C-alpha cells in the first residue's frame, strides 16, 4: 500500500498548515472561544473560501472529491491548531450523510450551502440510554399525512447549540437497537417543538441536548428510503472516526513539540531538565505513541474501499489506539510541564484536554475494543 501523498494532497496539507500557522494562533483561538457561538464565523468563512468545507464532496457538487486521506490531511492540520469550528459536525457527520442519502434535489439544496459556509449542520444521533451505540434510537418519527411527527431526545449533539439545521436519526420502525427502521430527517433547528440546551465541553467545543416534541416535517425532510439509513450512517461515522483520529495525531504532535521545548528551557540544579536521561526516555516514549497513532490512522484512512468488516476493524483499532496513546501523551506532557501544565494560560493544557476528549467522541477505547472483539468473533464463527 502506497502511503505517499499525491501532489493535490500535498497542496491541501500546505494550505491547511499555512492557515493554522498564520491565522490560528493560541490567542486567536481563545478569542473565538469567548464569542457567541464558541468559534469564529470569520474563520468559518475563510475555510469556505479556501475550499476546505468541500473536501469530501464530489466536484459536481463544487467539492474537492476527497476521501479518507484528504480528510486526514485537513484534520491533522486542524489538530495542530486546536481548531474549534464545527468542521466535524457540519461537513463530515452531516454533509457526508446528506451526500450519501439525499436525492438530487436535496443535494442541490444543502451541499452548496455547506460548501459555501452559509449553513451549519449538526447530527442528532446519540441518546443517553444508548451511550456510544449509534443503533440505539428511541426517538420516533411517525407518519402524519404526507409528512412525519418526530418525538424524542438526543444527547451531546456536537455543535448542536449553534447549528442552523439538524440531521436527526429517528425510528420509523423497529425498536431499541434494531438494525432496520432507522431513518434520517433534516429538521430546522428553529422549528416549533425543538428545544436546545447548549453547553461548552472541557476541550473547548460546544454541544447540546436536544428535545423534539411533536415536531412536524414534510416528506421532503426524509433522506433516502424510510427505515434504510443505517448503512449510510455507519459509513459516515467511519469517516468521522478517521477525522477524529487524525485530529488527535496533529494535537499529539504539538503536545510533544511543546513538551520538548519546555524541558530544554526549564532548569533544575543549574541544568536544563532535558539533559536528564529519565526525561529523555519519556520524551522518546511520547514520540513512539504519536507514531503508533499516525501509522494506524493512515492505514484506516486508506481502508474505506476495502471489505466492510476489515474496514471496521481497522477504524476501531485506530480509535482504540488513540484512546490509549493519546492519554499517555497528554498525561506525560502535563507531568513534564509540572504545575505549569495545569494552567489555562499554558497551551499544552488545552492540547491535553482535547486529546483526552477525542477518546470519548464517537465511542471511547473500551467501546471500540468491544467492537473489535465482536468482529473477531464473527470471523471465528465464519471460519
**Whether residue 152 has pLDDT greater than 80:** yes
Q: In this prediction, what percent of the chain has a pLDDT beyond 90?
A: 84
The helix, strand and coil proportions of the chain, stated in percent and rounded to the nearest 5, come to 55, 15, 30
- d(C-alpha 311, C-alpha 304), whole Å: 6
**Whether residue 2 has pLDDT greater than 60:** no
Ordered domains of the chain (ranges, CATH): 7-120 (1.10.540.10), 122-228 (2.40.110.10), 231-382 (1.20.140.10)
Whether the model clears a pTM of 0.85, i.e. scores above it, the answer is: yes
If you average pLDDT over residues 72-90, what whole number do you get?
Answer: 97
- Stronger pLDDT, 297 or 178, i.e. the higher one: 297
Each residue's pLDDT tens digit, 32-58:
999 989 999 999 999 999 999 999 998
> Grid coordinates in use for 331?
498525561
If you average pLDDT over residues 281-289, what whole number do you get?
Answer: 96
Question: Is the separation of the CB atoms in 246 and 293 below 8 Å?
Answer: no
If you average pLDDT over residues 237-261, what whole number do you get?
Answer: 97
Residue 107: predicted pLDDT:
95
In angstroms, what CA-CA distances link 1 with 72, 171, 315? 16, 40, 16
Residue 1: predicted pLDDT:
53
Mean pLDDT in the chain? Answer: 93
Q: What is the DSSP letter of 219?
A: G
Q: What is the DSSP letter of 280?
A: H
Residue 380: predicted pLDDT:
52
Each residue's pLDDT tens digit, 185-239:
999 999 999 999 999 999 999 999 999 999 999 999 999 999 999 999 999 999 9
Amino acid at each position: 500500500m502506497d502511503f505517499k501523498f499525491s501532489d493535490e494532497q500535498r497542496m491541501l496539507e500546505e494550505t491547511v498548515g499555512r492557515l493554522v500557522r498564520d491565522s490560528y494562533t493560541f490567542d486567536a483561538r481563545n478569542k473565538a472561544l469567548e464569542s457567541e457561538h464558541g468559534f469564529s464565523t470569520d474563520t468559518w468563512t475563510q475555510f469556505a473560501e479556501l475550499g476546505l468545507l468541500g473536501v469530501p464532496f464530489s466536484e459536481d457538487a463544487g467539492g474537492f472529491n476527497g476521501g479518507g486521506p484528504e480528510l486526514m490531511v485537513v484534520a491533522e492540520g486542524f489538530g495542530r491548531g486546536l481548531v474549534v469550528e464545527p468542521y466535524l459536525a457540519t461537513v463530515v457527520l452531516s454533509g457526508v450523510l446528506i451526500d450519501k442519502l439525499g436525492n438530487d434535489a436535496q443535494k442541490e439544496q444543502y451541499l452548496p450551502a455547506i460548501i459555501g459556509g452559509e449553513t451549519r449542520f449538526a447530527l442528532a444521533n446519540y441518546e443517553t440510554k444508548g451511550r456510544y451505540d449509534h443503533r440505539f434510537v428511541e426517538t420516533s418519527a411517525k407518519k402524519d399525512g404526507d409528512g412525519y411527527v418526530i418525538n424524542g431526545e438526543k444527547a451531546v449533539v456536537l455543535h448542536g447549540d449553534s447549528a442552523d439545521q439538524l440531521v436527526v436519526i429517528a425510528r420509523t420502525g423497529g425498536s431499541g437497537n434494531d438494525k432496520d427502521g432507522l431513518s434520517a430527517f433534516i429538521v430546522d433547528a428553529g422549528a416549533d417543538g425543538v428545544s436546545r440546551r447548549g453547553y461548552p465541553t472541557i476541550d473547548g467545543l460546544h454541544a447540546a441536548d436536544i428535545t423534539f416534541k411533536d415536531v412536524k416535517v414534510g416528506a421532503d425532510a426524509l433522506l433516502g428510503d424510510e427505515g434504510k439509513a443505517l448503512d449510510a450512517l455507519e459509513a459516515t461515522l467511519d469517516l468521522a472516526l478517521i477525522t477524529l483520529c487524525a485530529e488527535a495525531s496533529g494535537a499529539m504532535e504539538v503536545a510533544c513539540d511543546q513538551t520538548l521545548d519546555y524541558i530544554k528551557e526549564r532548569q533544575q540544579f543549574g541544568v536544563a531538565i532535558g539533559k536528564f536521561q529519565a526525561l529523555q526516555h519519556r520524551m522518546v516514549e511520547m514520540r513512539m505513541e504519536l507514531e503508533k497513532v499516525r501509522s494506524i490512522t493512515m492505514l484506516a484512512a486508506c481502508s474505506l474501499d476495502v471489505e466492510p468488516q476489515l474496514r471496521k476493524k481497522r477504524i476501531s483499532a485506530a480509535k482504540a489506539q488513540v484512546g490509549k496513546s493519546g492519554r499517555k501523551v497528554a498525561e506525560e506532557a502535563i507531568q513534564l510541564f509540572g504545575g505549569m501544565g495545569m494552567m489555562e494560560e499554558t497551551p499544552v493544557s488545552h492540547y491535553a484536554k482535547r486529546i483526552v476528549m477525542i477518546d470519548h467522541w464517537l465511542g471511547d477505547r473500551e467501546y471500540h475494543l468491544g467492537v473489535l472483539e465482536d468482529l473477531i468473533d464473527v470471523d471465528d464463527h465464519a471460519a
